[in-house]
Structure 1
Amino acid sequence: MTKLPRWVLTGLSIFSWLFVQNASAQNGHASDSLKIFSIKDLQEHVLLNNPVVKQAELLSEAARARVTQALGSFDPNLKAAFDRKHFGGTDYYNRWASELKVPLWLAGADLKIGFDRNVGTYTNPETATPLPGLPGVGISVPIGQGLLIDARRNTLRQSRVMVNYAEAERVNEINKVWFQAVKDYWNWFYANQQYDLIRRGVELANTRYIATRNQTLFGDKPAIDSVEAFITVQERSIQLARIEIEVQNTRLLVSNHLWDEKGNPVELPEDAVPVNADSAIVEISARQLDTLLNSAEDNHPKLQMLRNKGLQLDIERNYLREMLKPKLNVSGSLLTTRRDFTSYVPEYYDIGWSNYKVGFDFSFPLFLRSARGKLNEVRVKQMDLNLNLRNETRVILTNVRSSFNELKAYQAQLAIQTQSITNQEILLRGELQKFELGESTLFLINSRETKLIDMMMKRAELVTKYQQSLADLYYKAGILKN
């Protein structure tokens, strides 16, 4: 077999040795002109500026607004009304009524301070007051229905619980956005790894083709060898063109998650590259799995949402139980004509137990079908919720264990694949040495080299799947993790 010139063999050996030593890393990324865009960089952009994340923040704000709205039921309320009729020189009536009502949290009572002035020729004697008017202070208390909890306290308690529900929902939505961003990032990583490997393969194949072509021109090799070398260049160039499109598309998907502080979409810089393959592996232990399982069971946003929904139903159930009681409201006011403490007022017109208004109202539906039906409906919802909570807890813990098992499987495959690459590198170096001695062929070198590139691409794929599985593990556990 005709040997290649010494300078060609030396060049091929050095180039191939460099490929073997550095193909598992991204040599192009080591350039000062390229900047690594890490997962941490992605997280900063997504969590600070992504509009979907900002939408999720609105969930908590809306829930807090509903609490403020419910607190409005306990705002003091001031009302006043004036009505007068004067006709034919006769003052038929002159009515003024004003009241300040202060709702009290305790016992659902209402404190009332009022002033009435009803005078005139044709004023109803029941509502007539002395000419200066009639101030009074009183209270209205529900003795039966509404004593322990009423509609306004029920609404406020539920709205406060729903703040926690909204917070859990916010975390869940952010986790979804982040999980998708991480998956897109590692797809971009894989496409870049493929591109770098195939690009170096094209360079190596082209160098080998030039050397073979020159030897063919010198008459030392048959023309068929240069054709074979050129076919290898063409095949890898086609692969490179295909992967280049994939790099661009995955880059666009990552850019989808990037926004600036003003809410404008941002594109990944042209000089941005993902992290190095060797720095991408972060192992997780069985002890960490136990921590994730405990965290998922206690703090998973989906379970938190269900638990807060359960608290809301508990409050609703207590309120509906209160609705089973008869409605009995008692009210009373102490009256006086005193408007200040300097003028004289007869004792029988001054405030005291002898001047008052009292009253009560009572109602009770005999069959209670409406209240009992609503209460039973809430009980059914609670049973359904408890079953759902138990099932969702089981599903979440199973998913966490499943993701962990998948992660460990990828970890084992990566170890084997790394060792296989080392062995393939040895074979390629050996084949190059045999070729230099004239005991091998260009076909075998190309075959060994192509196999090595494929194995390195497989390793990059395993790294990608490992990282996506790691992200899936934390997502299944309900934890935001970079």
Structure 2
Amino acid sequence: MGRLSMNIKLKHLCLFFLLTFLFKKNGFAYDKRKEISGIDTAKVFTLEDLQLMVFRFHPIIKQTALLSESAQANVLQSLGYFDPALKSTFGQKLFGNTDYYNKWSSELKIPLWLAGADLKIGYDRNVGNYVNPESRTNSQGLSAIGLSIPIGQGLIIDARRSTLRQSKIMVQYAQADQLKQINSIWYNMVKDYWNWYYAYKQFELIKEGLDLAQRRFKALSTQTLLGDKPAIDSVEAYITVQERMIQREKTAIELQNARLVLSNHLWNETGNPLELPEEALPQNINAVKLPGKLLIDSLLTQSSSQHPELIKLKSKSAQLEIEKSYRQEMLKPKLNLSGTLISNRINFTNNIPGYYDFNWGNYKLGVEFAFPLFLRSERGKLREVKIKQQELNYELQQSGREIRNNILSSYNDLSAYSSQLSLQQKSIQNQQFLVNGENQKFALGESTLFLINSRETKLIDMKIKQESMAAGYQKTLAELFYKAGTKQQIN
């Protein structure tokens, strides 16, 4: 019996030294490894820090500002239809000592907003032997001032006023589209941040479990060397260490990838990309506070009138209403009147006879009339606009309902997360009691290492699940504001 006992102890010692050799060969000693710097020296990168950097330097955020600038540029283009225009023509023919004609015509045309009229100021000088008598003037020429007014088609609204009004409405559309894109970009960034948070917490919990397994293996190895514990316990402890080492390497890659994804949103003031440092830590989630009904009611009220998607649809509706008015105006007959007072006066200093000066007896008058008999083109375009209005009204109704239901759905998800987190916290506390009790029983020789590892692994999994739910809650909270068409206030 003495020799048998000695052989068993020798086997235990050999097994112990073999495990120790394997441990060192794989580069893992008993000392705790430090993959990430401690809290006291590491930089906590908060969601507020991300917000400050993104809204100052992110190129896509800057790009969205171009939407509004582009719409303002279209307004400027539309105002060009009301720009005064100056034109002048000159022609002369001399042949065989004969002055056939010498023509000079100049005109300043000023488009007016009122009634679609045009104010015209002109000067004509047409002299020569073969100038048409109806346009011939004396050597001083004739000055003129007059108006051209559409009495029928174009009196209420014309193409240039329609274009200008629609371009001004498109500024509101562009601003709403800009806000929608900014909200979408920020929502995706928030999700990436909390994915990084979960990856970090998962890695930390796995590393903590590995440290526990390494310390337990060290303690069991010492007890095995003294003959207090069987070598099989050391083998089982070593297997647990190996399993958690594999988990740690897997979660380390996930953490690295999550850090890279979040780094996509980091830029400096000079437009160069930044990388999130490895020592950076996410902020902690101290407590989960479910938004109150007052906030939900406020978001519902705000979204019904200020949601970017609804503003875009309402802008389109206003644009179509202007287009409808213009198409209705095009159904009227075209009747343009033009009247011009003429005079020999070329400045305000010379004296000329009254019958050659500006008066109601010196004028030119013109009338232009046109009317398509069937109006098929105009009626077809008007019908097309009305159909688009109906489609837009249906889309506006459906979008409003979907926005409201999406907000309520996100709030329901938040409520579920809040309840689950509360239950998960209690379950973790109970599981911790089981682990502590199992360790005490094992110390007294009344339990096995398998039960300790099993309960401890379950505790780690429950903590990881808790962090997953906490990250999911934060992402759903950001989704709540995004669905309401606004941005979550970070403080």
Q: TM-score range by the shorter chain?
A: over 0.9
Structure 2 distance, partners of 1:303, 1:337, is 61
TM-score by length of 2: 0.91
Query: What residue in structure 2 maps to residue 284 of structure 1?
Result: 291
Structure 1 distance, partners of 2:238, 2:426, is 31
Query: What residue in structure 1 maps to residue 307 of structure 2?
Result: 300
Query: What residue in structure 1 maps to residue 263 of structure 2?
Result: 255
Superposition pairs for residues 26-41 of structure 1, below 5 Å?
31-41=39-49
Deviations 1:96-130 (A, max 9, x none): 11111111111111111110111111111111112
Instruction: Determine if contact 2:37/2:279 at 8 Å carries over to the other structure.
Output: no
Query: What residue in structure 1 maps to residue 320 of structure 2?
Result: 313
Which amino acid is 1:57 matched to?
Answer: A
Instruction: Determine if contact 2:36/2:279 at 8 Å carries over to the other structure.
Output: no
Query: What residue in structure 2 maps to residue 422 of structure 1?
Result: 429
Superposition pairs for residues 226-375 of structure 1, below 5 Å?
226-278=234-286, 281-375=288-382
Structure 1 distance, partners of 2:53, 2:312, is 27
Give the SS at the match of 1:365.
Answer: coil
Structure 2 distance, partners of 1:180, 1:443, is 43
Structure 2 distance, partners of 1:402, 1:341, is 77
Structure 1 distance, partners of 2:431, 2:349, is 109
Q: How large is the Cα RMSD of the aligned pairs?
A: 1.4
Deviations 1:43-91 (A, max 9, x none): 1222222222222111111000000110111111111111111111111
Structure 1 distance, partners of 2:37, 2:374, is 79
Query: What residue in structure 2 maps to residue 21 of structure 1?
Result: none
Structure 1 distance, partners of 2:38, 2:398, is 49
Query: What residue in structure 2 maps to residue 119 of structure 1?
Result: 127
Q: In the alignment, does 2:443 pair up with 1:436?
A: yes
Q: In the alignment, does 2:213 pair up with 1:180?
A: no
Give the SS at the match of 1:278.
Answer: coil
Deviations 1:113-171 (A, max 9, x none): 11011111111111111210100110111111111111000000000000000001111
Structure 1 distance, partners of 2:39, 2:58, is 30
The runs of 5 or more residues in structure 1 that have no matched partner are 1-26
Which amino acid is 1:467 matched to?
Answer: Q
Equivalent residue pairs, number: 455
Query: What residue in structure 1 maps to residue 5 of structure 2?
Result: none
The runs of 5 or more residues in structure 2 that have no matched partner are 1-34
TM-score by length of 1: 0.92
Percent of residue pairs identical: 56
Q: Give the Å deviation of 1:282.
A: 4.1
Query: What residue in structure 2 maps to residue 455 of structure 1?
Result: 462
Query: What residue in structure 2 maps to residue 88 of structure 1?
Result: 96
Q: Give the Å deviation of 1:434.
A: 2.4
Deviations 1:166-223 (A, max 9, x none): 0011111111111111111111111000000010110110000011011111111111
Structure 1 distance, partners of 2:98, 2:355, is 30
CA change 1:194–1:342 in 2 (3 A) is closer
Q: Give the Å deviation of 1:294.
A: 1.2
Deviations 1:416-467 (A, max 9, x none): 0011111112222222222333322222222221111111000001011111
Instruction: Determine if contact 2:342/2:362 at 8 Å carries over to the other structure.
Output: yes
Q: Give the Å deviation of 1:339.
A: 1.7
Query: What residue in structure 2 maps to residue 382 of structure 1?
Result: 389
Which amino acid is 2:57 matched to?
Answer: N
Choose which of 137, 157, 165 in structure 2 pairs with 1:157.
165
Which amino acid is 2:172 matched to?
Answer: N
Q: In the alignment, does 2:129 pair up with 1:102?
A: no
Q: Give the Å deviation of 1:342.
A: 3.4
Give the SS at the match of 1:358.
Answer: strand
Query: What residue in structure 1 maps to residue 51 of structure 2?
Result: 43
Instruction: Determine if contact 1:29/1:35 at 8 Å carries over to the other structure.
Output: no
Structure 2 distance, partners of 1:326, 1:263, is 58
